[in-house]
């Protein structure tokens, strides 16, 4: 429970455990708290670092500002400097994966291993329209409308059906959050910050050994996005999770955890086959 | 340009060409006019029958009524009786596919061959929530919001990107339509009529030779739905179209046309291999 | 039951039915007779042309000769000239698809529509080794060894399991054939004629509207081969058949028939969407 | 470099490193030596146990005997008892995965986590015929024929093409091995021992948390086999590796290593999502 200041704005972060450091970068509606179920396994043998981006969780808001991903990339760098880490492994999902990619492009010497779940190389026109639908739903301040607009593209149909009670509880928790103007305005700014995201031409700069995870039922950043990344990032390793949607870490938590920890903690990256 | 009356309500239909009869059943936002690009090929060697369901195109509205799919199934039957057709082949996409399935269950003796594009056996909770998002967007009367909510789940990302001008034109045409209260109320009633759709337990009753077409980028009725149908319909033949979304007929018009005509017009359904 | 002479060698062919002409080109171990189950549907509305390549069926052998695919491409052209056909649609599977591609490259003005089942753009080193295994098995003159070497890469595991009686009968028929030195030597020459096949750099020359069919359980020319073709042939349309192997026409005869006839007989290839 | 005796037969094994124990079970043509490239990473934080089954590597032959998998399952149990291990995690690939499954069924209290690469629940008739082709090729004592019969179903086409030099070297190493009557007879007995393998009805007995890895280009135990396992093993987690064949560990060594170590070393298997 600590924070750093970037200019006059506060960024919230948490560090737990000891070992090879891992930073987890949040998806757009997430916060440091969203990772709670995974903390125990991640901190068992690693130093786990969680952070709230601007307009997330306990970090400061950017009310009235229009910004790009770059302010979040700079958050990551400020945090790594603050923690005096020479090299760090980064796990990002969705929005967090996009920030992770950009960090790995801009600060390649500081990235050990990179793990990208449900991540794209750019915001295509289709995804931009989906974001616009979220924004329009948010502006109605109708939490149920927002839920119905955003959640079915985040969870897979099979997860909805086979975890009905869990989804019902999730709805009860989320509808009030999705009715809160402060939250909705934060997510609107975060959504808009993604519209200009495009690193298609810079993927070749990534030097880190990179695990790319695609969820076969991801209908927000479908598998084609991860195949695109895997074909252009030098040291890329691609796997697919069947039966999981965009929120793959919640749908398949043990796979999420073991894929991240396995890839980051494996000693060699060259095998004399 | 004809119509029949069901009780005191008018149903609009069109018949063109001669040969083995084919009825095309519309998706939820479609009408007889939506098939215009396909008419030439379909009527070349077949009798082509198009029809507007209640609350579609030039058929009568059902303002203030809550109804199920059954009224549309009855539309199909009234039309087939009116045309004195003994047997007919039916092509349905999405909503139209669901009506086609129910017709084939209830009137199996009247169905020759059945072609189902982008069709499900039931409205799962996930799809129901998507429908609810459409309804909420429709009630804002904001055509652009409705467009952004509904269109990205109908067209695939790749279609969006590689047909940008076409999509831009489509948006110009659709936003005014999606701002029209009469249209939005019609689609709301049609959407609600799908909520109770569930023929999981009746699929075994279908006797027709059935072609089931799945589009690999369909994010509204994903491939798992068509696999489900194919595993339960007796004489089912499943194929997949890569790189196409829910509006597969518009994304891949030549495949749509040739798959329908090939399957319906092929003489044998038994091959002495 | 006719033949043409190419130099002093006889080529056997058959023509049936009337309408838009379709030539069926055989896979490596096939002959005109292999298409018997499909004749009825194909000749119903089309002129159906079947032909045995050199070293196939009732056409002449090329004992002691080493040749490339070109002699078979020339067979196709001689036959089309003999029949005075201005334009013809060609369906090829596997070896026949490879000849069809080359014909469409070399004689683009004579090809109307092209249908390629289970076809590759070149013989990769992996496929070459499989061919070498067939040849080695053939040289043992042990029909059962040849059957076990060649048949499991031709039929899918699911076809094996769900059509056990059919497969057992097939084995009874094939083992004697696969013990016949004349047959084995023919297939050896045909196999060798494929080793140099490579039209990767010429696919852009194909002008014909082309349907490319991939079988998802094809373990001889797997799906990646058909994706490769679809990405490089100008007017290509790709579909996939789940649950079928390399001998897709025997595993899914109604799909084979309706896909071919639908694609070839559909009037338009442009749709004003 | 140790051994145990089972009755009067020697079984060779090696133990390295310290930590949570992992036993690696060999594919049919493998031996303890085949894992050499992975030892460094596996022993870094775990106790790594390798073992040669009967008729493999440095373990004793079973000349003139016909046996089933059970003798190998008993090898695993004898070794675990000898090492006084209460619980062990098991990684198996192909033949080794089949032994691992049977061990987990028969000795569920001794298995911690289970990792199955490229594994089937039974030897279907198709796979049996492939095995018969290997046996026939082996009996010719022609190493190149055996190579061409067995290797293309083990490595993916893409691996063949993109690692040509590596494959050429592999061929130079393997052809002499595949010409050695002792080796060929060993593999024949191992192949025959798989013919009766069928645990379809016992998969529900497995209690271990299980990672199932399918390689999308596996043409010996294709993806459908792993889907089958995943649907029937209680605590199963399925992932797919695109672009890899049956020898997935050699085609994707870093994925193989990090998947195994990540899944076995992750602390929790329950996540309070």
Predicted confidence (pLDDT) per residue in C41-79, tens digit: 999 999 999 999 999 999 999 999 999 999 999 999 999
Query: How many other β-carbons are positioned within 10 Å of the β-carbon of residue B166?
Result: 14
Closest residue in chain B to residue C242, using alpha carbons only: B239
Give B117 to chain A, closest Cα distance, Å: 19
Size of interface A-B (CB pairs under 8 A): 98
- Mean pLDDT, chain B, rounded, equals 97
Asked if B76 contacts B61 with a C-beta cutoff of 8 angstroms, the reply is no
DSSP summary character for residue D31 = -
What is d(CA C139, CA C187) in angstroms, rounded to the nearest whole number?
11
Instruction: Give residues 35 to 64 of A whose Cβ lies within 8 Å of D.
Output: 36-38, 40-41, 44-45
Give A133 to chain B, closest Cα distance, Å: 5
Query: How many other β-carbons are positioned within 10 Å of the β-carbon of residue D177?
Result: 15
Query: Across the interface, which of A45, A166, A241 has its CB nearest the CB of D239?
Result: A241
CB contact under 8 A, B259 and C261: no
- Is 80 exceeded by the pLDDT of residue D228? yes
Tokens of D267: 């602390």
Asked if C195 contacts C123 with a C-beta cutoff of 8 angstroms, the reply is yes
CB contact under 8 A, D126 and C222: no
Give D100 to chain C, closest Cα distance, Å: 23
What is d(CA D75, CA A220) in angstroms, rounded to the nearest whole number?
49
Closest CA to C222 of A264, B85, D222, A101: D222
pLDDT value, residue D139? 98
CB contact under 8 A, A222 and B124: no
pLDDT in tens, B103-143: 999 999 999 999 999 999 999 999 999 999 999 999 999 99
What is d(CA D98, CA D229) in angstroms, rounded to the nearest whole number?
11
Q: Where are the beta strands (DSSP E) in A76-235?
A: 88-93, 111-117, 209-215
Q: Tell me the β-bridge partners of A16.
A: A48
Average pLDDT over residues B144-161: 97
CB contact under 8 A, D127 and C157: yes
* D228–C contact, CB cutoff 8 A: no
* C166–B contact, CB cutoff 8 A: yes
Asked if B238 contacts C255 with a C-beta cutoff of 8 angstroms, the reply is no
Per-residue pLDDT of chain C (273 residues; tens, 9 = 90+): 699 999 999 999 999 999 999 999 999 999 999 999 999 999 999 999 999 999 999 999 999 999 999 999 999 999 999 999 999 999 999 999 999 999 999 999 999 999 999 999 999 999 999 999 999 999 999 999 999 999 999 999 999 999 999 999 999 999 999 999 999 999 999 999 999 999 999 999 999 999 999 999 999 999 999 999 999 999 999 999 999 999 999 999 999 999 999 999 999 999 998
Contacts of D257 in chain A (CB under 8 A): 262, 266, 268, 271
CB contact under 8 A, B268 and C254: yes
Query: How many other β-carbons are positioned within 10 Å of the β-carbon of residue A101?
Result: 29
- Mean pLDDT, chain D, rounded, equals 97
Q: Do chains D and B touch (3 or more CB pairs under 8 A)?
A: no
* B86–A contact, CB cutoff 8 A: no
Give B67 to chain C, closest Cα distance, Å: 32
What is d(CA A102, CA A88) in angstroms, rounded to the nearest whole number?
14
Query: Across the interface, which of D151, D167, D219 has its CB nearest the CB of C219?
Result: D219
What is d(CA C217, CA C247) in angstroms, rounded to the nearest whole number?
10
How far CA B268 is from CA of B85, B166, C37, C43, D107, in Å, comes to 21, 39, 10, 11, 54
Closest residue in chain B to residue C38, using alpha carbons only: B271
CB contact under 8 A, B129 and A147: yes
pTM as predicted: 0.97
- The set of chains that have 3 or more CB pairs under 8 A with C is B, D
Contacts of D149 in chain C (CB under 8 A): 133, 136-137, 149
Confidence of residue B1 (pLDDT cuts 50, 70, 90): low
pLDDT value, residue D46? 98
Size of interface C-D (CB pairs under 8 A): 98
CB contact under 8 A, B238 and C243: yes
CB contact under 8 A, A136 and B158: no
Closest CA to C195 of C117, C134, C105: C134
What is d(CA C23, CA C42) in angstroms, rounded to the nearest whole number?
10
- pLDDT above 70 covers a percentage of chain B that reads 100
- pLDDT above 70 covers a percentage of chain D that reads 100
pLDDT in tens, D106-137: 999 999 999 999 999 999 999 999 999 999 99
CB-based contacts of B151: which residues, under 8 Å, 6+ apart?
A129, B170, B171, B174
Q: Which residues of C131-161 are buried (b: 16+ CB within 10 A; e: fewer)?
A: bbbbbbbbbbebbbbbbbbbbbbbbbbbbbe
What is d(CA C127, CA C219) in angstroms, rounded to the nearest whole number?
10
Average pLDDT over residues B246-269: 97
Contacts of D222 in chain C (CB under 8 A): 157, 217, 219
Give C20 to chain D, closest Cα distance, Å: 38
Size of interface B-C (CB pairs under 8 A): 118
Contacts of B155 in chain A (CB under 8 A): 126
- Is 70 exceeded by the pLDDT of residue A81? yes
Cβ neighbourhood burial of A159 (10 Å; 0-12, 13-18, 19+): buried
What is d(CA C193, CA C70) in angstroms, rounded to the nearest whole number?
9
Average pLDDT over residues D224-228: 98
Tokens of C271: 């749709």
CB-based contacts of A257: which residues, under 8 Å, 6+ apart?
A38, A41, A42, D262, D266, D268, D271
Of all helices (H) and strands (E), which one includes residue A108?
none
Query: Across the interface, which of B124, B133, B144 has its CB nearest the CB of A145?
Result: B133
Average pLDDT over residues A218-228: 98
What is d(CA A110, CA A113) in angstroms, rounded to the nearest whole number?
10
* C78–D contact, CB cutoff 8 A: no
CB contact under 8 A, C160 and D124: yes
pLDDT value, residue B258? 98
* B242–C contact, CB cutoff 8 A: yes
pLDDT value, residue D52? 98
Closest CA to C257 of B270, B212, B238: B270
Closest residue in chain A to residue D166, using alpha carbons only: A273
Asked if D207 contacts D135 with a C-beta cutoff of 8 angstroms, the reply is no
Query: Across the interface, which of A140, A217, A222 has its CB nearest the CB of B157?
Result: A222
- The set of chains that have 3 or more CB pairs under 8 A with A is B, D
Q: Do chains C and A touch (3 or more CB pairs under 8 A)?
A: no
* C192–D contact, CB cutoff 8 A: no
- Mean pLDDT, chain C, rounded, equals 97
pLDDT value, residue A1? 65
CB-based contacts of D18: which residues, under 8 Å, 6+ apart?
D46, D47
* D130–C contact, CB cutoff 8 A: yes
Query: Across the interface, which of C258, C263, C272 has its CB nearest the CB of B37?
Result: C272
Conformational region of residue D118, where left means phi above 0, alpha means psi within -120 to 50, and beta covers everything else:
left
Closest CA to D259 of D239, D232, D273: D239
Q: Tell me the β-bridge partners of C240.
A: B240, C214
Sign of CA dihedral D180, D181, D183, D184: positive
pLDDT value, residue C1? 65
Closest residue in chain C to residue D243, using alpha carbons only: C224
CB contact under 8 A, C145 and D160: no
Give D71 to chain A, closest Cα distance, Å: 30
- Is 70 exceeded by the pLDDT of residue D1? no
CB contact under 8 A, D148 and C158: no
Contacts of C262 in chain B (CB under 8 A): 257-263, 265-266
Asked if C228 contacts D161 with a C-beta cutoff of 8 angstroms, the reply is no
- Is 70 exceeded by the pLDDT of residue D149? yes
* B227–C contact, CB cutoff 8 A: yes
Calculated CA dihedral for residues B149, B151, B154, B157, nearest 10 degrees: -100
DSSP secondary structure, chain B, as one string: -EEEEETTEEEEEEEES-SEEEEEE--TT--GGGGHHHHHHHHHHEEEEEEPPTTSTTSPP-TT----THHHHHHHHHHHHHTT-S-EEEEEETHHHHHHHHHHHHTGGGEEEEEEES--SB--HHHHHHHHHHHHHHHTT-HHHHHHHHGGGTS-HHHHHHTHHHHHHHHHHHHHHTT-HHHHHHHHHHHHHHTT-B-GGGGGG--SEEEEEEETT-SSS-HHHHHHHHHHSTTEEEEEETT--S-HHHHSHHHHHHHHHHHHH-S-S----
Q: Which residues of D34-64 are buried (b: 16+ CB within 10 A; e: fewer)?
A: bbebbbbbbbbbbbbbbbbbbbbbebbebee
Cβ neighbourhood burial of A210 (10 Å; 0-12, 13-18, 19+): buried
CB contact under 8 A, A125 and B219: no
Average pLDDT over residues D231-250: 98
Closest residue in chain C to residue B250, using alpha carbons only: C273
Contacts of C145 in chain D (CB under 8 A): 132-133, 136-137
Domains observed in chain C: 2-122+197-265 (3.40.50.1820)
pLDDT in tens, A148-187: 999 999 999 999 999 999 999 999 999 999 999 999 999 9
Q: Do chains B and C touch (3 or more CB pairs under 8 A)?
A: yes
* A273–D contact, CB cutoff 8 A: yes
Quote the ipTM score.
0.97
Size of interface A-D (CB pairs under 8 A): 118
Contacts of C224 in chain D (CB under 8 A): 157-158, 217
CB contact under 8 A, A142 and B136: yes
- Is 70 exceeded by the pLDDT of residue D145? yes
- Is 90 exceeded by the pLDDT of residue B35? yes
Give B252 to chain A, closest Cα distance, Å: 18
Query: How many other β-carbons are positioned within 10 Å of the β-carbon of residue C38?
Result: 26
Asked if B75 contacts B11 with a C-beta cutoff of 8 angstroms, the reply is yes
């Amino acid at each position: 429970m600590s924070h750093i200041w970037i200019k006059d704005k506060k960024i919230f972060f948490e560090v737990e455990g000891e070992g090879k450091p891992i930073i987890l970068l949040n998806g757009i509606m997430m916060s440091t708290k969203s990772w709670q179920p995974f903390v125990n396994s991640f901190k068992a043998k690693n130093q786990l670092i969680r952070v709230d981006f601007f307009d997330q969780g306990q970090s400061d808001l950017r009310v009235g500002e229009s910004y790009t991903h770059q302010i979040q990339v700079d958050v990551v760098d400020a945090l790594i400097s603050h923690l005096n880490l020479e090299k760090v492994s980064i796990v990002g999902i969705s929005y967090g994966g996009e920030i992770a990619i950009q960090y790995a492009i801009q600060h390649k010497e500081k990235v050990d291993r990179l793990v990208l779940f449900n991540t794209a190389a750019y915001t295509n026109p289709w995804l931009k329209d989906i974001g616009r639908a979220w924004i329009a739903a948010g502006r109605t301040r109708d939490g149920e409308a927002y839920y119905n607009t955003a959640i079915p593209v985040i969870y897979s149909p099979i997860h909805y059906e086979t975890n009905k009670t869990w989804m019902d509880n999730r709805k009860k928790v989320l509808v009030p959050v999705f009715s809160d103007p402060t939250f909705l305005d934060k997510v609107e700014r975060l959504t808009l910050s993604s519209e200009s995201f495009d690193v298609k031409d810079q993927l070749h700069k990534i030097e880190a050994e990179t695990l790319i995870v695609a969820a076969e039922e991801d209908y927000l950043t479908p598998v084609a996005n991860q195949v695109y990344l895997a074909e252009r990032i030098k040291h890329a390793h691609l796997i697919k999770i069947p039966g999981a949607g965009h929120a793959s870490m919640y749908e398949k938590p043990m796979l999420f955890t073991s894929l991240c920890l396995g890839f980051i903690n494996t000693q060699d990256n060259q095998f004399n086959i």
